[in-house]
Amino acid sequence: MTKEIAAIPGDGIGQEVLPAAIDVLEALDRDFEFVEGRAGNAVYEREGTPLPEETRELAREADATLFGAAGELAADIILPLRQDVEAFANVRPARAYPGVDGVKPETDLVFVRENTQGVYAGIESDLTDDVATLTRLITGEASRKIAEYGFEYADEHDADRITVAHKANVMRTTDGLFVDTAAEVAEEMDVEYDEALIDALAMHLVMHPEDYDVIVTPNLAGDVLSDLAAGLVGGLGMLPSANVGDDNALFEPVHGSAPDIAGEGIANPSAMILSAAMMLEYFGDDEDGQRVRNAVETVLEDGPRTPDLGGDASTEEFTDAVLEEL
Ligand SMILES: NC(=O)c1ccc[n+]([C@@H]2O[C@H](COP(=O)([O-])OP(=O)(O)OC[C@H]3O[C@@H](n4cnc5c(N)ncnc54)[C@H](O)[C@@H]3O)[C@@H](O)[C@H]2O)c1
Ligand SMILES: CC(C)[C@H](C(=O)O)[C@@H](O)C(=O)O
């Protein structure tokens, strides 16, 4: 049966990497219909909104969404889109591929980031001209849901260990609830469980990434730590992600619009193509997901590579090599 995929390129290099992922998906023997959705700066200038209702509707109704990247209006684009697909989990694998001069080649871990709450709940206001406040929202229900998802993910992927990141030594009530809920879920599960303070975890990740498998995090911590992990595996061009809800999902690279290289045709499409592989797995097609991953892995190892990885290939040359491998 045809699957309808909302394809939203967005801004900057989103316009360059999303077509690469679509080329890869089209090379597989799958029945996908891609429907392009408008979003981004240019849309804002033309239509007065960076994310027209029509695009939101497209994401809600599609079988899944592929998103490229957004620029300075990202919070008005990607956060509502994540809400539209009701994505409670943001899954961000960080894996060092052979041939990429990753700072830490032994890195192979996954962040399971709570995707709806914390400081992203949007409860922020000016009290006076000189005083602003932000309310950090954590509920037991959302904490249980992300912890359960993390444990199920660990189980399905044969992970040895699950780590819950928190800062309950300071945010006693909110992160206290987050980590206590995860500990309750852990009692029902059969995976090695451990808790880590976010600041020390950042240090430990840089020094010993091999100690981690699945890391469940509150929202903002997952945002920051996943970019840190990108630095362990060759940069932001390498980190894919899945925003997963009960009935819908959105797949996007972790990176943004990269204004410093946008328009040059040299963006690394690996993160976007690997996000498309995650979409294939979400549809239950593990075999094609693995095929795509293997093709990317071979090209990363043998070249050609894009400039962020020390090569001189264009986005198109890299993608052609992946297509050839497939
Ligand atoms: N989900 C999103 O759409 C998202 C995520 C992060 C940032 N942003 C937005 O993107 C804009 C730029 O933010 P930033 O510069 O902090 O982050 P960025 O991810 O856009 O870029 C950070 C650095 O990584 C490099 N980089 C990122 N992706 C790359 C790729 N695929 N290939 C090669 N190099 C790559 C860039 O060239 C840049 O040097 C901001 O306006 C921000 O709001 C959007
Ligand atoms: C742009 C921003 C809203 C987004 C986030 O904070 O989730 C980004 O940093 C990311 O990691 O996808």
* pLDDT bucket at 280, cuts 50 / 70 / 90: very high
Task: Return d(Cα 279, Cα 273) in angstroms, integer.
Answer: 10
**Tell me, what's the pLDDT at 153?**
96
The answer to whether residue 78 is domain-embedded is yes
> What CATH code is carried by the domain that includes residue 229?
3.40.718.10
80 shares a domain with 14: yes
**Tell me, what's the pLDDT at 193?**
95
Answer whether residue 102 shows pLDDT above 80. no
Which of 199, 246, 302, 312 is labelled catalytic? 199
- Closest CA to ligand 1's atom 44: 256
* Phi, psi values for residue 94, rounded to 5°: -120, 110
Task: Return d(Cα 102, Cα 97) in angstroms, integer.
Answer: 8
141 shares a domain with 18: no
Which of 120, 149, 153, 193 is labelled catalytic? 120
Structure tokens of 160? 């040895």
pLDDT average, residue stretch 281-292: 97
Query: Which residue matches tokens 């871990």?
Result: 109
CA nearest neighbour of 11 among 38, 40, 37, 49: 40
The answer to whether residue 248 is domain-embedded is yes
The answer to whether residue 96 is domain-embedded is no
**Tell me, what's the pLDDT at 190?**
84
81 shares a domain with 45: yes
298 shares a domain with 260: yes
**How do residues 292-319 score in pLDDT, each as one tens digit?**
999 999 999 999 999 999 999 999 999 9
Residue ranges making up the domain that contains 199: 102-233
Neighbour-count burial for 127-157, b at 16+ CB within 10 Å, e otherwise: eeeeeeeeebbbeeebbebbbbbbbebbeee
Percent of the chain with pLDDT over 70: 100
Percent of the chain with pLDDT over 90: 96
| Interface predicted TM-score (ipTM) of this complex, two decimals | 0.99
223 catalytic? Reply is: yes
**Tell me, what's the pLDDT at 101?**
83
**How many domains, the chain?**
2
Answer whether residue 99 shows pLDDT above 90. no
The answer to whether residue 93 is domain-embedded is no
pTM exceeding 0.95 = yes
126 shares a domain with 73: no
79 shares a domain with 126: no
Average pLDDT, the chain: 97
Last residue of a domain, one of 205, 233, 261: 233
For residue 73, give the ligand nearest its CA.
Answer: 1
**How do residues 198-209 score in pLDDT, each as one tens digit?**
999 999 999 999
DSSP 74-142: HHHHHHHHHHHTT--EEEEEEEPPTTS--S-TT-EEEEEEE-S-BGGG--EEEEETTEEEE--B--HHH
